[in-house]
Amino acid sequence: MRTSFACLMKPVLHGYFRSSCSWRVRIAFALKGIDYDQVPVNLIKDGGQQITAQYKALNPMQQVPAVTIDGMTLSQSLAIIQYVDETRPGPRLLPADPKQRAKVRMICDLIASGIQPLQNLYVMQKIGTDKVQWAQHFISRGFEALEFILKQTAGKYCVGDEISMADICLAPQVYNAERFKVDVDQFPTIKQLNETLLELEAFKESHPARQPDTPDDLRI
Which residues does 62 contact at the CB level (< 8 Å), separation at least 6?
A: 48, 50, 51, 55, 56
Q: What is the pTM of this model?
A: 0.94
Same domain, 74 and 150: no
Catalogue the long-range contacts made by 143-148 (C-beta closer than 8 Å, 24 or more residues apart): 143/115, 143/177, 143/182, 143/184, 143/186, 143/187, 143/190, 144/187, 145/110, 145/114, 146/107, 146/110, 146/111, 146/115, 146/187, 146/190, 147/187, 147/188, 147/189, 147/190
Question: Which pLDDT score is estimated for 9?
Answer: 87
Same domain, 74 and 125: no
Give the tens place of pLDDT for each residue, 113-160: 999 999 999 999 899 889 999 999 999 999 999 999 999 999 999 999
Let me know if residue 1 belongs to a domain.
no
CATH of the domain at 85: 3.40.30.10
Strands 66-69 and 37-40: unpaired
**Which range of residues forms the domain containing residue 150?**
98-204
Give the tens place of pLDDT for each residue, 87-97: 999 999 999 99
Same domain, 103 and 196: yes
Question: Which pLDDT score is estimated for 2?
Answer: 47
CA atoms within 13 A on the CB side of 202: 24
Question: Which pLDDT score is estimated for 60?
Answer: 96
Question: Which pLDDT score is estimated for 198?
Answer: 98
CATH of the domain at 175: 1.20.1050.10
Let me know if residue 7 belongs to a domain.
no
Which of residues 36, 62, 91 is at a domain's end?
Answer: 91
Same domain, 46 and 125: no
Instruction: State the 10-residue block means of pLDDT for the chain, 220 residues long.
Output: 57 97 98 98 92 94 97 97 97 97 98 96 90 96 98 98 98 97 98 98 98 91
Question: Which pLDDT score is estimated for 8?
Answer: 64
Per the structure, the count of domains in the chain is: 2
How far apart (Å, rounded) are the C-alpha atoms in residues 188 and 5?
41
Let me know if residue 3 belongs to a domain.
no
Same domain, 113 and 65: no
CA neighbor of 107 nearest in space, from 159, 176, 155: 159
Same domain, 103 and 76: no
